[in-house]
Homo-oligomer: A and B are copies of this chain.
Amino acid sequence: MQNISMGQAVAQALSEEMRRDPSVFMAGEGIGVGIHDSPLMPTYGLLQEFGPGRVKDTPVSEAVIAGLAVGASVLGLRPVVEVMFFPFFTLASDQIVNHAAKLRYLSGGKSAFPMVVRIKAGAGFGAGCQHSHNLEAWAAHCPGLKVVMPGTAADAKGLLKSAIRDDNPVIFIEDMGLYFFPTPVPEEDYTIPIGVADVKKPGRDVTVVTWSKMLGTAFKAVGPLAKDGIDIEIVDLRTLLPLDKETILNSVRKTGRLVVLHEATRTGGFGGEIAALAAEEAFEALKAPVKRVTAPDIPVPFSPPLEKFYLPDEAQLIQAIKDIVKA
């Protein structure tokens, strides 16, 4: 088992898939020659290995980067393109939502669009709201897309391989907060299925459904809560679309309590979907109100104390859990 960061795990998945399958190529702004020459970054070293024919630095043109993937994939290539930061998803969204997600349907099932859009996400870098704005709820509201958001380096590697081998457009969202800390990642070639949530920690009292960087926040709450005799079950969604309802519902039916934890802002966030699911399909099992722990409904502010205030933390999670265990 190697110890590598999520950035490195992504780079490993990319390079292994590119070696395996010559139809895989990459495109994006500065994915080859970049302004961050760090081996922790997710496309580090790929230009050197695969050359400019397969690792394409592009103009700053998000719409055509996405369109490039749509067109190349319908002819059978497997593009992996990058949207540098999540707010720029807006600029690519017509191609992704109205084209990548819909053109197979519009072909009556004749065509396929095996493409991956990698997106860098997450607040916490002092970059402000035009660089940090988690919009996974947008992508997850678009039938035809798959939406993946790994919470560990090991998951990222296996899920990205699945995404590249998938015959559908996959939005693969990488929280930059996970890029820099090494964790154990298997060395071999493995895939993790898209559409399957993972119970990262079994528990008795409360189900915490979360994804991406917030998985770490959930784990930080385990110890303090255990001291109070509260045993949480952590369900890492990993894939938002298609949603693994069974794993969520089984957990909620077992614990009878649900807290959803995500970094995105609250209103209209994907946490609503999870809470709704429980209220619809695990209602009889629920012993207490559902809770969502999320960012407040504000843009991500720049100043360190403000940005810290923005990000949900384990204290808020612990409080929410205690509230409903008491209830």
A296's nearest neighbour on chain B, judged by CB, is B143
- Residue contact A289 to B299, C-beta cutoff 8 Å: no
Within 8 A of B (CB), among A220-272: 241, 243, 264-265, 267-272
Q: A286 — which chain B residues lie within 8 A by C-beta? A: 279, 283
Is A84 an interface residue when CB atoms closer than 8 A count as contact? no
Q: A118 — which chain B residues lie within 8 A by C-beta? A: none
Q: Which of A94, A276, A291 has the most CB of B within 10 A?
A: A276
Known A98-B129, A140-B267; further 8 A-B contacts with Cβ < 8 A: A97-B133, A102-B299, A106-B128, A272-B273, A275-B276, A276-B290, A279-B289, A283-B286
Within 8 A of B (CB), among A291-327: 291-292, 297-299, 301
**What is the minimal beta-carbon distance from A146 to any residue of chain B, in angstroms?**
12
Is A141 an interface residue when CB atoms closer than 8 A count as contact? yes
Contact of A90 among B97, B269, B292, B299 (CB under 8 A): B97
Given that A91-B94, A94-B88, A280-B291 are contacting pairs, would A135 and B144 also be in contact in the complex, using a CB cutoff of 8 Å?
no
A92 to B284, CA, bound (A): 43
Q: A138 — which chain B residues lie within 8 A by C-beta? A: 137-138, 141, 268
**What is the minimal beta-carbon distance from A110 to any residue of chain B, in angstroms?**
15
A137 to B264, CA, bound (A): 14
A30 to B124, CA, bound (A): 43
Counting from the closest, the 10 A-B pairs by CB-CB distance are A141-B268, A275-B276, A272-B272, A283-B289, A279-B279, A90-B94, A90-B93, A279-B290, A272-B276, A272-B273
A133 to B270, CA, bound (A): 19
**What is the minimal beta-carbon distance from A173 to any residue of chain B, in angstroms?**
14
Q: A288 — which chain B residues lie within 8 A by C-beta? A: 283
A136's nearest neighbour on chain B, judged by CB, is B268
- Interface residues of A, dominant DSSP: mixed
Number of A residues near B (Cβ < 8 Å) is 53
- Residue contact B143 to A265, C-beta cutoff 8 Å: yes
Q: A272 — which chain B residues lie within 8 A by C-beta? A: 270, 272-273, 275-276
Given that A101-B299, A105-B301 are contacting pairs, would A141 and B269 also be in contact in the complex, using a CB cutoff of 8 Å?
yes
A283's nearest neighbour on chain B, judged by CB, is B289
Contact of A283 among B88, B265, B290 (CB under 8 A): B290
* 5 A-B contact pairs sorted by A residue (CB < 8 Å): A98-B130, A138-B141, A272-B272, A272-B276, A275-B279
Q: A283 — which chain B residues lie within 8 A by C-beta? A: 286, 288-290
- Residue contact B280 to A290, C-beta cutoff 8 Å: yes
Q: Which of A90, A140, A280, A281 has the most CB of B within 10 A?
A: A90
Is A193 an interface residue when CB atoms closer than 8 A count as contact? no
Given that A94-B90, A102-B129, A299-B143 are contacting pairs, would A275 and B267 also be in contact in the complex, using a CB cutoff of 8 Å?
no
- Residue contact A299 to B141, C-beta cutoff 8 Å: no
**What is the minimal beta-carbon distance from A204 to any residue of chain B, in angstroms?**
21
Within 8 A of B (CB), among A74-127: 87-88, 90-91, 93-94, 97-98, 101-102, 105-106
**What is the minimal beta-carbon distance from A185 to any residue of chain B, in angstroms?**
30
**What is the minimal beta-carbon distance from A166 to any residue of chain B, in angstroms?**
17
